[in-house]
Amino acid sequence: MKKLVLAPVVALAITGLAASPVIAAPNSGDAFSRTGVQTPATGGESKTAEADVQKIEASVSVSPTEISQTDLADAKKGVDVTVTGLEAGDVVTDSLTGEETVAEGATVTFTIINDSGDPEKVPAGPVDFTVTVDRGTESATYDASFTVTPDETEEPTAPAVDPKAKFASEKISVSEIESKGLKFSGEGFTPGGTVSIEGISTPQSGDKAGVQAAQAGTQADIITADEDGKITGTLIAPEGAAKVGKYVVAFVDDKTGEKTEAVEFTVTEDATEEPTTPAADAKLIISPETVSPKDFVDQKKGVKVAIENCKPGEDVRFLVNPKSDINVTAFDRTVKADDKGTAFVNVYGTSASNPSAYIGDYSVTVTCGDDKLTGEFSVENEANAGGGGGDNDNGGNAGGGGDLPRTGMELGGLAAGAALLLVGGAAVVMTKRRRSAAVSPSDI
């Protein structure tokens, strides 16, 4: 596209290689000046006597008659003006520069340039001017002109159309494509051009209706590429139009007809939510609830305390307190539930030489998250105990006392056994059994 630039007038500069003095006319040259003034001293003899003054019969020529903005602003080029038919002493003036040159012979030649030096400041179009020759009292004016042509500017090369597109996801449910839609993006389209979506096929069903319906929903808002040839948008199917299956579409550059490679997406059935099974309530198990002193001091027996249905990895607190007036200190310990939400411990007496020291009732409190479960067990003489037999070798509570000590270890299934803290003549300890496939709270 050709570019035409109009610019304000700039100040004059006067340059030249004159054989005679060159005089600038005041403020009449606008943006033009002379260069390369020549007036050879041949022919055209001067007539000093007034009676000898001849009628002026000069002529003016311009070369070239058309010049570009760049060349007119170039001090080495410009427009050459030649005035012939002169006599020595004639004064030659032009209306563009206002400059005067005194002829030394029959010819005066000078070059007109635009002083700005900037092609963009040179107005394009015809430039009309006059050349005046003064000879004594005689004067003659001649019309001349040249045309300034706009510089040609290269048209920006439009990028080659090579469309590409993709969807944000390869899969979308029926309800999603009918409500939110499937986002897409692309590039390589005609800048500012429109883009269509074409349904090619649906391999699974052979039915193109779903794609066409989806396309219709999108085409309500015309897809237009930006200045870089990029597109973004959302493919939305009208309600009830989308069908389950795989679709293959192409994005078409409307101006050139160029298409993207096939782009696939799959419409899937809406997921059905599985009914949520309510979380089971935590369950406390104590077994046996009544035990003989002899069995209670047997590490392989004792009382088993377990809880089920906690959250896996959750802290579980076991608290055992003697209810009766016996010299056994409370036990308070927190352990982690296993990956099935289960935690369990054994409670037994460590003073096998004085089992009767443990006779009495014990309360059990187990805290699992927001759940707090309570229970109890009793250590009773063999005659009343439901969990053991045999005789109590040591008789009744023969003085001394027992303790429910802290075990000094994490009861999370890493180890078995306990570190004992003895108080008085007897102690009670809680240990966690090693977990195995054969042992669980339900086995108690």
Give the pLDDT score at 232. Answer: 92
Give the pLDDT score at 329. Answer: 72
CATH of domain 164-268: 2.60.40.10
Higher-pLDDT residue of 198 and 79 is 79
Q: What pLDDT, in 10s, does the model give residues 5-26? A: 323 333 223 233 333 333 333 3
pLDDT higher than 90, residue 348: no
Do the domains at 22-149 and 164-268 have one common CATH topology?
Answer: yes
The set of residues, in sequence order, having a beta carbon less than 8 Å from that of 294 and lying 6+ positions away, is 355, 382, 388, 390, 391, 392, 393
- Tell me what the mean pLDDT of segment 150-171 comes to: 85
The set of residues, in sequence order, having a beta carbon less than 8 Å from that of 267 and lying 6+ positions away, is 171, 172, 173, 174, 177, 210, 242, 243, 244, 245, 246, 247
Strands in 194-201's sheet, in edge-to-edge order, are 171-173, 263-268, 245-253, 194-201, 223-224
Give the pLDDT score at 124. Answer: 93
Give the pLDDT score at 200. Answer: 53
Q: How far apart are CA 59 and CA 408, in angstroms?
A: 125
Q: 272 pLDDT band (50/70/90 cuts)? A: confident
Least confidently predicted of 12-26, 219-233, 249-263, 412-426: 412-426
- Tell me what the mean pLDDT of segment 280-300 comes to: 90
pLDDT higher than 50, residue 415: no
* Fold type of domain 283-443: Immunoglobulin-like (2.60.40)
Q: 209 pLDDT band (50/70/90 cuts)? A: very low
pLDDT higher than 50, residue 159: yes
Q: What pLDDT, in 10s, does the model give residues 39-50? A: 787 665 555 555
Higher-pLDDT residue of 204 and 70 is 70
- The domain ranges of the chain are 22-149, 164-268, 283-443
Give the pLDDT score at 56. Answer: 92
Higher-pLDDT residue of 421 and 331 is 331
Give the pLDDT score at 312. Answer: 94
- Tell me what the mean pLDDT of segment 56-71 comes to: 94
Q: Return the amino acid letter for 217.
A: G
Q: 135 pLDDT band (50/70/90 cuts)? A: very high
- Tell me what the mean pLDDT of segment 347-362 comes to: 85
Q: For Cα atoms 299, 302, 308, give the angle at the middle one, nearest 5 degrees.
A: 115
Q: How far is CA 71 from CA 8, 12, 98, 117, 168, in A?
A: 18, 17, 21, 10, 56
Give the pLDDT score at 44. Answer: 57
Reference 313, options 196, 428, 412; nearest CA is 412
pLDDT higher than 50, residue 245: yes
Per the document, the length of the chain is: 444
pLDDT higher than 90, residue 99: yes
* Fold type of domain 22-149: Immunoglobulin-like (2.60.40)
Q: 374 pLDDT band (50/70/90 cuts)? A: very high
Q: 97 pLDDT band (50/70/90 cuts)? A: very high
Q: 138 pLDDT band (50/70/90 cuts)? A: very high
Give the pLDDT score at 300. Answer: 86
The set of residues, in sequence order, having a beta carbon less than 8 Å from that of 102 and lying 6+ positions away, is 20, 21, 39, 89, 90, 91, 92
pLDDT higher than 70, residue 207: no
- Tell me what the mean pLDDT of segment 243-249 comes to: 90
Q: What percent of the chain has pLDDT over 90?
A: 44
Mean of per-residue pLDDT scores for the chain: 75
**Residue 110 forms beta bridges with which residues?**
81
